[in-house]
Each structure stands twice: as C-alpha cells, then as structure tokens.
Amino acid sequence: MKKNNQNFKRRDSSPNRVSNFDRQNNRREEKAKVNGGVFVYSKPVSVAELSKAIDVPATSIIKYLFMQGKAVTINQMLDDEMIGTICLEFGYDFEKEKVVDALHFEDIEIKDDPKDLLPRPPVVTVMGHVDHGKTTLIDSIRNSNVAAKEAGGISQAIGAYQKEVKGQKVTIIDTPGHAAFTAMRARGASVTDIVVLVVAADDGVMPQTIEAINHAKAAGAEIIVAVNKMDKPGVRPERVLEQLMQHDIIVEKYGGDIMSVEISAKTGAGIEDLLEVILLKAEMMELKANPNRYAIGTVLESNLDKGEGPKATFLVQNGTLNSGDYVVVGNTYGKIRRMTNEYGQVVKMALPSTPVSVIGLAEVPAAGDRFMAFPSEKEVKDIAEKRKMAAVEASRGNSAAMSLSDLNNLVNAGKIQDINVIVKADTDGSAKALKASLEKLSNEQVRIKVLSAEAGAISDSDVLLASASSALIYGFNVRPDARIRQKAEEAHIDIRLHRIIYELLEEMEDVIKGLYKAEMVENVLGQAEIRHIYKITHVGTVAGSYVTDGLIKNDSKVRLLRDGVIIYEGALGSLKRFKDDVKEVKQGYECGFTINGYNDIKEGDIIEAYELVEKN
Ligand code: GDP
C-alpha cells in the first residue's frame, strides 16, 4: 500500500481532483420542453407528461400504443423508443438531451485525458464447473509465495484480495462460481477484466464450463484457460483444449489467441506461470485508470455488522477513494469512516482496482451497486434521496417484461429482431435437440437465439442470465422450485414449461408469426368483508371493508358474494385507504371501494378479488 502513496498526492485541499461529472451540466433545467415542433427531453416522461407537452390527449397516445401492441397506463413511464415513435406519429420531431447527471452515474462514461491515465492492476474472476478446483485455486494463489511483509497471510475475507507478482499487483475476486458474477452482470456492473476458466483435466468440459464461457463472453472479459489437476495420473490436457475448441475457445497452441496454462491447484504447480500469464494478458489489454479523480466503483460484498453497522467491500475502478470521502452508493450514501484492506489493516486511500472494506454508510448497499465519491455531504444526501425516488418511479413504470404475449406484440409491430431463449431439459440430448429445432424456426424477420441449452433444473443463474439478456426460459420435463419461480416473477422472466416437444415448438412458431394467443387463467388475489355502507352523491355506494385474506388491488376484477352466492361480477371502480387512492390493500387492513357501475352492495357481503394471468 504504502509505496504507492507517494505517486499520488492527497487532494483534500487540492484543486486537482477532477469531479466525476461536469457540475455545470447538472444544474441544467431538466424539464422536457417543446421547441418549434421538436420535443426536447432529458429523462423518461410518463404518458400524461408527454400528452401535456405535445398537446395530444393522453387517450390518443394510449390508443396509438395499444395499436402497436403495447398496453400502457396514463402514469406509465415511456422509454426512448416509445417517446420517439409517439412524437413522430403526432407530427413532432424529438431530441434527447444528454445530461451528464450524477443521478445516473452508472451510465457515465468517464472520459479521462490520456495523459492522466496510469496502468492499473487487472481484476480477475475464477470460473468453471463445480469441483474443478476453483476454490482450491483461489486459496492457492492467495497463499503462493507469501512474502515476508505479508507474514500471516491474508486474514480477512472481504471478497477480493490483491497479489503481488513480480512487483505488480493482480486483483483476485475470491468468490468462485457464477452466481456472484452473474448477479453483478444482471445489474449492469462489470468488474472483471479477465476470467480464469478452470477445467479439470480428468473431467473435461462440463455444463458449467460452457456457462462460464457464455458469461465471460457476454461481459466482454478476456478468458485464460487453466487446465487443472495436472498432478493426477494419466490425464490428457490436449483433450480439454480440443473440447474447448467446439465452444470457440481456441488456444494459442491451436492457432487461436486464448492463453492456456497447465496447473495443479492442489500442489501449486503452474500457479506462478498462471499469474505471469495473467500479467501478460493484462499488459496487452493496457488497463488504465486516472487516480486523480473522485473514486467510482462497485460493491463486491456487503453485510450489516453488529458492532460497526453497514459494511461493504468496494472495488475502486477509477479514481482514488480516501478515508473521509463522501459517497453515494446504490440509493444510499455515507462518509467513509474507516477503510481496511484484506489484511485487516487500516488504509487511508485505495487506488484503482483496489478492494477495500468500508464502514460509515447509512444503509447496507447491495452487491453490484455502483458507488461514487463527491465533494460534500449535502451533495451525496441529495443525490441518494433523488435516486431512491427515481428507483420507486422506475419500478412503478417497469414494462420491460418479456412475456410471450409481449414478444408476440413486438413481432406484430415489427419491433423485434432477436428473441433470446434459455433452454433447460431433463437430458442433454433433448436440450440440444430443442436448441436446434428452436433456432430453425427463425425466419427473415425474427431470429431465435438460444443463449444456452443444458440438462438440469432451472437455476438462479438461468434466471439471472435471462434478466441480463431479456430472455425467456423454456423448461422441458423440468420444473422450477418455488424459490426460483418467485425470483423469476420478481424479475418479470417468463418461464414456459412443456412436456411435449411439438407443443413447445408450435407455441414459439405462433409467437414468431405474431399469432400467439395467451390462454388466460384466473388468479384469486384475496377477499374483503363489507362492514359499512356509505352512499355518497356523485360517487355511488362506497363499501367500507376489511381485507380478511390476501390482498385487493385497485385494478382487480371482483365478484360480489352474498351468503356464498355470486350476485355480481365486475371490476373495482376505486380503492382508497382513508382519503387516499391506493394501488393495493393487504390482509388485516381496512379500505373503502366502489364497484364500477354497481351500487347494490350490502353490509355483510364479501368481495373476492382476482386477476387474469397467462396460463403456465
Ligand atoms: P470448486 O467446486 O471448483 O471450487 O472445486 P474445489 O476447489 O472445491 O475442488 C474440488 C475437489 O478437487 C477438492 O477435493 C480438491 O481437493 C480437488 N482438487 C482441486 N484442485 C486439484 C488439483 O489440482 N489436483 C487434485 N488432485 N485435486 C484437486
């Protein structure tokens, strides 16, 4: 740590530290406006806002979108593409102003002056099939050649550590496996420069090896192959390299540009070579960062420490993080009260590619959250507050779900070229057969891209890959468990389950031709008991009720039951708690509602709320 300090001066009082965004830009008015027939906007707008700005009734906009196969509500936020097509449809041109905005610092592409850039260590993740030796390798690198000054070795598990190789540093993320990596990628964070792909020589390429290749490629990371367990008798590393070729991993020995090393994570043989190859690759990648700016980076791990409060491991990706800095992280903020390294030592500053454990945050951030340092506390509080609000807004207007019906509508509107699919099947044979058959359905307009086709149960990593790539998941003779099902639901991932191949293919064929019709089934949401009736002029009968079971939503369909007999079926007109309109009311709460066009409600009646959802 220490020896790097002299290269970079602390800048508390120094005017040299560059802010991460042009602050003048940030002060700019953010309001959308129409200038001479051009709708100029800088952030997402709702149907209502756009309607007002271009003076077109909201109903016309909703109707137009509906004709395009998109069902939206008046308060829904519109994406750029929707805004563009609506403007053109109603005779306006449009322009998105690019505001470099601290609120969206994830998206800021930091442009540093090349003369400010200095080399930074590579960030390495170890991936590969289960039992191929990832954990052993990570430990073995950690303990290899422990220099005297590191006596005692790395003592803290903070999610990553740095290793010095020939005087240069390498940062190793120490959670093996794909879950962490994919979780980050699904959240748009990419921290890894190099993926070390571990393949056991005695086992060869296996499903998770392929999954790792897919993830590494999708994240744009470089791959280095480590053929492991070379200490085992009779192993044939060439076989592994040949198998890898079938997945477009062509090593140098066979004329490709992927480096490979033979190692034994257990005996330590080849580990030094691997580290040197990592350095070589990193040199070729010319990884650089500007240490003289406020830090920006990603949360690797986080937890709530009983004594110290919210605790997180930050990986600094650009700039320098200093003890005492104010940071926004995810939707929370804080002042870095203390930073420690992987040896548990307190450090005052963390340079690019350095992992540090920090305390001083107001809340626990999530792994994959981005952080950024700012000059003042007021600024970080303000930004965190706004980000929190924006997150709530975004989740309300979230319409990115890619159900079969959505895809069907997009096909009909000529709005989609690729449909991404993940296949999970009971056997490898049927997975591969389905992949081939699905891809063959592609036509001139729409291509089906099978991102992966494997045998096995639908897993977390499938759901994450699906959400990172807007894919739908086909399960053939497999079923997701309740936990996975819930995760998929939360991420709006459509999981389609089939037991008969031609039914699955017919379904997809319909989608590709825009002929798919979802079969709707009823999903009962809950029940409420009517306790008081209020007759209100101009409003009608308001039923003061108590939710006895489940929940009631303001857009629920309802049936009215009297003594167990259905006496009316319709939809809710309004749903309130006290004086406020609400989206839903849960079991154990009181509410008031009206039924659309129906007033003959009596005390003691029961309403059952339900919604129609796509079958499957
Ligand atoms: P992971 O699931 O990929 O993290 O694999 P582990 O690191 O847990 O290793 C799985 C098993 O393989 C353990 O029993 C290790 O001791 C063993 N193993 C790992 N690397 C080697 C190696 O280089 N040679 C041999 N013989 N065994 C190894």
CATH of the domain at 450: 3.40.50.10050
17 in a structural domain: yes
Residues 449, 594 share a domain: no
* End position of a domain, from candidates 255, 286, 317: 286
Residues 512, 415 share a domain: yes
- Six token digits for residue 419: 């449909």
Residue from 554, 530, 558, 539 nearest 599 by CA = 539
386 in a structural domain: no
Q: Does residue 291 surpass a pLDDT of 70?
A: yes
Task: Please report the pLDDT score of residue 107 as a whole number.
Answer: 62
Question: How far is the C-alpha of 123 from the C-alpha of 151, rounded, in Å?
Answer: 24
Return the ligand 1 atom nearest residue 176 CA: 4
The average pLDDT across 250-263 equals 95
Contacts 24+ apart (CB under 8 A), 337-346: 340/156, 340/158, 341/1, 341/156, 341/158, 341/162, 342/154, 342/155, 342/156, 342/158, 342/160, 342/161, 342/162, 343/150, 343/152, 343/154, 343/155, 343/156, 344/155, 344/156, 345/1
The DSSP 8-state label assigned to residue 46 in this structure reads B
Residues 578, 497 share a domain: no
Residues 604, 459 share a domain: no
Task: Please report the pLDDT score of residue 147 as a whole number.
Answer: 46
Residue nearest to atom 15 of ligand 1 (CA): 133
pLDDT band at 33 (very low <50, low <70, confident <90, very high): low
Q: CB atoms < 10 A from the CB of 492, how many? A: 16
Is the pTM higher than 0.85? no
Residues 586, 441 share a domain: no
Q: Does residue 35 surpass a pLDDT of 90?
A: no
* End position of a domain, from candidates 72, 89, 110: 110
Question: How far is the C-alpha of 125 from the C-alpha of 158, rounded, in Å?
Answer: 14
Range(s) of the domain holding residue 156: 121-286
Query: Per residue, what are the HEC states of 488-554?
Result: HHHCCCCEEEECCHHHHHHHHHHHHHCCCCCCEEEEEEEEEEEEEEEEECCCEEEEEEEEEEEEEEC
At 116 the three-state DSSP class reads helix
Residue type, 553: K
Task: Please report the pLDDT score of residue 492 as a whole number.
Answer: 80
Q: Does residue 497 surpass a pLDDT of 70?
A: yes
Residues 172, 35 share a domain: no
Question: For the segment 359-378, what is each residue's pLDDT rounded down to a tens digit?
Answer: 999 888 888 888 999 888 88
In the chain, the number of structural domains is 4
Residue nearest to atom 10 of ligand 1 (CA): 131
pLDDT band at 13 (very low <50, low <70, confident <90, very high): very low
Q: For residue 609, how far is its CA from the centre of ligand 1 (angstroms)?
A: 54
Residues 83, 137 share a domain: no
Q: Does residue 62 surpass a pLDDT of 80?
A: yes
How far is Cα of residue 238 from the mean position of the Cα atoms in its chain? 37
Q: What is the CATH number of the domain that holds 149?
A: 3.40.50.300
Q: Cα-flanking dihedrals φ and ψ of residue 100, to 5°?
A: -80, 110
Residue with tokens 């992280």: 329
Question: For the segment 534-593, what is each residue's pLDDT rounded down to a tens digit?
Answer: 988 888 899 999 999 999 999 999 999 998 888 999 999 999 988 888 889 999 999 999
Return the ligand 1 atom nearest residue 138 CA: 7
Q: For residue 130, how far is its CA from the centre of ligand 1 (angstroms)?
A: 9
Residue from 48, 67, 68 nearest 58 by CA = 48
484 in a structural domain: yes
pLDDT band at 98 (very low <50, low <70, confident <90, very high): low
Residue nearest to atom 20 of ligand 1 (CA): 133
pLDDT band at 189 (very low <50, low <70, confident <90, very high): low
Using CB atoms within 10 Å of the CB of residue 81, give its burial: 0 to 12 exposed, 13 to 18 middle, 19+ buried.
exposed
Return the ligand 1 atom nearest residue 232 CA: 26
Residue type, 591: C
Return the ligand 1 atom nearest residue 228 CA: 23
Return the ligand 1 atom nearest residue 136 CA: 7
pLDDT band at 30 (very low <50, low <70, confident <90, very high): very low
277 in a structural domain: yes
Task: Please report the pLDDT score of residue 395 as a whole number.
Answer: 47
Residue nearest to atom 18 of ligand 1 (CA): 133
Task: Please report the pLDDT score of residue 296 as a whole number.
Answer: 92
116 in a structural domain: no
Which residue ranges have their beta carbon within 6 Å of ligand 1?
128, 130-136, 176, 228-229, 231-232, 264-266
Q: CB atoms < 10 A from the CB of 478, how many? A: 18
Q: Does residue 28 surpass a pLDDT of 50?
A: no
Lowest mean pLDDT among 95-104, 259-268, 301-310, 412-421: 95-104
Return the ligand 1 atom nearest residue 132 CA: 3
Residues 222, 127 share a domain: yes
Question: How far is the C-alpha of 18 from the C-alpha of 97, rounded, in Å?
Answer: 23
Greater confidence, 606 or 186?
Answer: 606
Residues 273, 127 share a domain: yes
Q: Does residue 397 surpass a pLDDT of 70?
A: no
The average pLDDT across 171-197 equals 75
* End position of a domain, from candidates 499, 517, 535: 517
Residue nearest to atom 14 of ligand 1 (CA): 131
560 in a structural domain: yes
Residues 413, 489 share a domain: yes
pLDDT band at 52 (very low <50, low <70, confident <90, very high): confident
347 in a structural domain: no
pLDDT band at 8 (very low <50, low <70, confident <90, very high): very low
Mutate to test the pocket of ligand 1, among 125, 178, 199, 266 (most ligand atoms within 8 A of CB): 266
Mutate to test the pocket of ligand 1, among 131, 137, 172, 208 (most ligand atoms within 8 A of CB): 131
At 613 the three-state DSSP class reads strand
Q: For residue 264, how far is its CA from the centre of ligand 1 (angstroms)?
A: 9
Mutate to test the pocket of ligand 1, among 136, 144, 181, 208 (most ligand atoms within 8 A of CB): 136
482 in a structural domain: yes
Residues 532, 488 share a domain: no
485 contacts: CB under 8 Å, gap ≥ 6? 495
Task: Tell me the torsion sign for CA atoms 597, 598, 599, 601.
Answer: negative
Residues 138, 239 share a domain: yes
Q: For residue 287, how far is its CA from the centre of ligand 1 (angstroms)?
A: 31
